[in-house]
Structure 1
Amino acid sequence: MDGWDVLAEAGDRARRGEAFALATVVWREGPSSGKEGCRAIVTEDGELHGWIGGACAEPVVLREARQALAEGTPRLLLLGTPDRFGSVPDGMTVVPISCQSEGALEIYVEPVVPAPHLVVAGRSPLAHTLVALATALGWRAELSEDLASVTERSYVVVATQGHNDEETLERALTRNPAYVGLVGSRKRGEAVLGYLADRGVPADRLARVQVPAGVDLGAVEHREIAVAVLAELVRLRAAGRPVRVVERVAEEAVDPVCGMTVARRDPVECDGVAYYFCCAGCRDAFRRDPAAYAKKESRC
């Protein structure tokens, strides 16, 4: 994909509710394979779609993009050899790379976090009001009985109000959403949770259910209960929930010759330890004198 195709793909992913980071080359000093306007999408799982530069830049951008997604803050990267940079503006992250082309890049990395996804189970006026209020806030909100669209990022509110509460709540818990709330009295909630415990639903899952859902406004009518539920969800979002933690096998290593962060490809083994390199030059330097670069415990 080129720069404009990446933007179209980014729009599609945003509409599907996916989280990703958009990396854009905003300045270059040649020679460099990355050009101004080159763009790439970095997914939460560390996949890169597009082009922002060669083997020197790509691992750095992948790492910084995932960090930007985790923190929810953009960053401006300056990539190049340290000796060529003078005064660096505040807020810019300098990443030294020892690229043989001796080029330099500035790359803007912007996290794109999707709008919150709210799924409400129920046909009551409260359920319809809650969806309408969340939609007015720009959230992706929907009514659903089967909860098929629920993901680990979704907020789920069970507002069935006596119509298959137990079955609906159990279905919601199996999808492991970020939040599960049950609209009803505390006494009703205890009965529903007790029934599910008897059915063998794990206690740790049941403990995640917020019942009654929403901030306590006292005795109010259904529209005000919808406001109370949404207020609780807004408060959780402001506190940083949901936060998705992706467990990943490390796919990066440090080139022992130049110190660059590189992808784990084409290793050279020394005394049972795998080493990875940014280019053939560093690999050849290691092979000529492995003792100068290998870990102290290695005896190559």
Structure 2
Amino acid sequence: MNLLERAAELAQARKPYVKATVVRAGKPASAHAGDTALVLADGAIEGFVGGTCAESSVRVHALATLDTGDPLLLRISAGAPSTVVEEGAVTVANPCLSGGSLEIFLEPRKPAPRLVVVGDTPIGVSLATLGAPLGFEVIPAGVPDPGAAGASAGAAGLVAAADAVVVASHGRGEEPVLEAALRAGVPYVGLVASRKRGSAVLASLEVSDTERARVHSPAGLDLGGRSAPEIALSILAEIVALRSSSDDATRRTTGGEDPVPITTAVLDSFVTIPAGTIPLATIEAPGTAIDPICGMTVAIVPGAIQADGPVYFCAEGCKRRYLADRG
């Protein structure tokens, strides 16, 4: 496998690495301009950019670029140990280098932040459309069916490897995803809802108050947007702002484990309702009921969340509270 194929394999597996390229070599350095290596997150070096002495410096500074995310020009020369740091460049003197000098460009390659968008509403579609140009790997997801076997496990599997989760399903299957995202430690969890409805949804979650407080609801910065694309832009702006200002100590780590793959089995536990598949004229206005827990108006439709009576609920959380109160 050549380095291009290996780099593609690492990218496919969402494993970070640094591409190290020799851009100048002074004799008698063993490397030549154009020599390339890949430095993996565990420090392994695949390829050639110089002997073991040069590799040591490459490894140290390559791993530093993985931490910062910024490319770096590394200059290595023989001499007493020293390090000179400039903006965008570091010059090191290596006493074991057998003469010559090297200049190596280090390019960190990190997986694109993974954004899971739950719901194919206009805001959800706009998030998927705008997210990709901003460098996100966008995973559009359907809505978890609370009545389906394994729905909670499906939600957990879907969001486990996410960097951000935005629930834009407008009341459908919100709780399982929000709870799974919070328990998985997803850095950004957003709910598209009004303040009143969002507060009711958050109150129904079976999580700690600390976790509940991590949900951004209403999701997005207050930019005054009204249209779906404008609201999506405000949500993406909030995610970018938080990612940029986050402290390394608070970032979620995987402990070296591979991310949970987004498999067909996981997605099969979600029910997608494609926009525009039902002519508007054929939709009959449903009857309504009042959720006895939160007071919200609930449409009486097939698949509505209900208990004996029947009593209808806006969400599984309200149903659980109702049944618990009844003993």
Letter in 1 for 2:93: P
Equivalent residue, structure 2, for 1:42: 39
- Paired with 1:246 and 1:58, the residues of 2 have a C-alpha distance of 27
Contact 1:178 1:241 in 2 (8 A): no
The aligned runs of 1:153-232 (5 Å cut-off) are 154-196=163-205, 199=206, 201-217=207-223, 220-232=226-238
Unaligned runs of at least 5 residues, structure 2: 143-153, 256-327
Q: Report the alpha carbon displacement of residue 37 of structure 1 after superposing the two structures with TM.
A: 2.2
Deviates most, 226-235 or 73-82: 226-235
- Paired with 1:134 and 1:247, the residues of 2 have a C-alpha distance of 23
Equivalent residue, structure 2, for 1:63: 60
Task: Report how many aligned residue pairs link the two structures.
Answer: 242
**2:105 aligned with 1:108:** yes
Q: Report the alpha carbon displacement of residue 169 of structure 1 after superposing the two structures with TM.
A: 0.6
- Paired with 1:100 and 1:136, the residues of 2 have a C-alpha distance of 43
**2:100 aligned with 1:98:** no
- Paired with 1:105 and 1:209, the residues of 2 have a C-alpha distance of 49
Contact 2:65 2:108 in 1 (8 A): yes
Equivalent residue, structure 2, for 1:268: none
Q: Report the alpha carbon displacement of residue 213 of structure 1 after superposing the two structures with TM.
A: 0.4
Q: Equivalent residue of 1:172, what SS?
A: helix
CA 1:45–1:186: 2 relative to 1, 3 Å: farther
Deviates most, 143-152 or 178-187: 143-152
CA 1:70–1:204: 2 relative to 1, 3 Å: same
Equivalent residue, structure 2, for 1:251: none
Equivalent residue, structure 2, for 1:117: 114
Q: Report the alpha carbon displacement of residue 100 of structure 1 after superposing the two structures with TM.
A: 6.0
- Paired with 2:50 and 2:225, the residues of 1 have a C-alpha distance of 60
Equivalent residue, structure 2, for 1:267: none
Equivalent residue, structure 2, for 1:75: 72
CA 1:180–1:46: 2 relative to 1, 3 Å: farther
TM-score norm. by structure 2 comes to 0.62
Q: Report the alpha carbon displacement of residue 120 of structure 1 after superposing the two structures with TM.
A: 0.3
Letter in 1 for 2:57: V
Q: Report the alpha carbon displacement of residue 46 of structure 1 after superposing the two structures with TM.
A: 2.9
Contact 1:45 1:246 in 2 (8 A): no
Equivalent residue, structure 2, for 1:297: none
Contact 1:156 1:180 in 2 (8 A): yes
Letter in 2 for 1:154: D
Unaligned runs of at least 5 residues, structure 1: 249-300
TM-score norm. by structure 1 comes to 0.66
- Paired with 2:4 and 2:32, the residues of 1 have a C-alpha distance of 16
Letter in 1 for 2:44: E
CA offsets, 1:78-110, max 9 Å, x none?
Answer: 223227x9xx99864221212263343221112
Letter in 2 for 1:70: D
Equivalent residue, structure 2, for 1:132: 129
Equivalent residue, structure 1, for 2:301: none
Letter in 2 for 1:227: L
- Provide the alpha-carbon RMSD of the alignment: 3.6
- Paired with 1:6 and 1:159, the residues of 2 have a C-alpha distance of 40
Contact 1:121 1:144 in 2 (8 A): yes
